[in-house]
Structure 1
């Protein structure tokens, strides 16, 4: 089926995905209809199916893209070196990356139950891949004595939960700026695993 006259898939397709993510974050996946997504983009409900087969695909793409992007971005930001240095960098990176994408974060963490089984399996594999990053850092720190934890997987999960939680309260123009929040969370991350905060800005 041909696209609507005058449409540009390279522009409208991303707009459809962005609108869906925004609406899912604001109202919940179950409450958002395809008609509402189409209205948000400014196209007819029937035309929406030129850009996506269904609502489930939009949810899956939002989660998949978010997780693939964060994994790839950390791959570029990882400074390597000592576990304390890497954990400090990871904490700052995670806070910074997620504050830039609050809608994607909310959808990725709150709408897992809405995924169909095959999509859930893919997203869970990506999530485990990202969660393995702080787990490996903490395991290395426990091995070299720079970190003290009773349970490495539990500590890594606690780190992820703490760092991601910043998106629920941070507001631009508030008492703390982003750089301050990143530094404070990095210090708390190191403290959580019994490590000393680095003397970095």
Structure 2
């Protein structure tokens, strides 16, 4: 299939994903049409299918890309043997990573319901992989007697929910710097497990 004149896959493909991310975050997946995405990108609606088979695939690509980026960035973080240091590093990493990607975080939570069962299973598996990392930290700390956590799975989900909640209220240039927010949240997380 011939490419639209003036179209470059290495430029247009990322623009399609960026535009879809922005529109899904603003209006919701169900309210956004492929025609609207094409219009905002500046291509014919039919040209979108050079970059994605359909809207469901586009949503899945965005959610999977976010999780792949999260897991990749986390894997590159130094891992201490000290349970407190590991938990603090996880806390700070989670806040920092997610504050840089508010739209991706928003659709990653709000649009899961719009995935097909097969796509949901993939994304849920990646989320569980990330959650297991925190749960492993909590289990290790509990085994060593430095954390007092009754149920590590519930504590994991509660901590991640609390940390991700920063995205709903934090604004750069506001009353608190990102470093101050990280410190306050680390203090709350630490008190939750000790």
Give the TM-score normalised by structure 2.
0.98
Question: How far 1:78 sits from its partner (Å)?
Answer: 3.5
Across the aligned residues of Structure 1 and Structure 2, the Cα RMSD in angstroms comes to 0.8
Match of 2:182 in 1: 182
Match of 2:101 in 1: 101
Match of 2:172 in 1: 172
Question: How far 1:134 sits from its partner (Å)?
Answer: 0.7
Q: Over residues 31-85 of structure 1, what are the superposed CA-to-partner deviations in whole Å (9 max), with x where a residue is unaligned?
A: 0000111111111111111111111011001110111111111111133221110
Gap runs ≥5 in structure 2:
none
Match of 1:80 in 2: 80
Match of 1:159 in 2: 159
Q: Which runs of 4+ in 1 moved over 4 A?
A: none
Match of 2:46 in 1: 46
Match of 1:198 in 2: none
Q: Is the 8 A contact 1:89 1:186 kept in 2?
A: no
What are the residue-to-residue correspondences of 1:78-157 with 2, within 5 Å? 78-157=78-157
Q: Over residues 122-179 of structure 1, what are the superposed CA-to-partner deviations in whole Å (9 max), with x where a residue is unaligned?
A: 1111010011111000000111011101111000110100000000000111000111
Match of 2:57 in 1: 57
**Distance in 1 (alpha carbons) for counterparts of 2:163 and 2:183:** 12
Question: How far 1:190 sits from its partner (Å)?
Answer: 1.2
**Distance in 2 (alpha carbons) for counterparts of 1:42 and 1:173:** 33
**Distance in 1 (alpha carbons) for counterparts of 2:111 and 2:161:** 16
**Distance in 1 (alpha carbons) for counterparts of 2:78 and 2:190:** 16
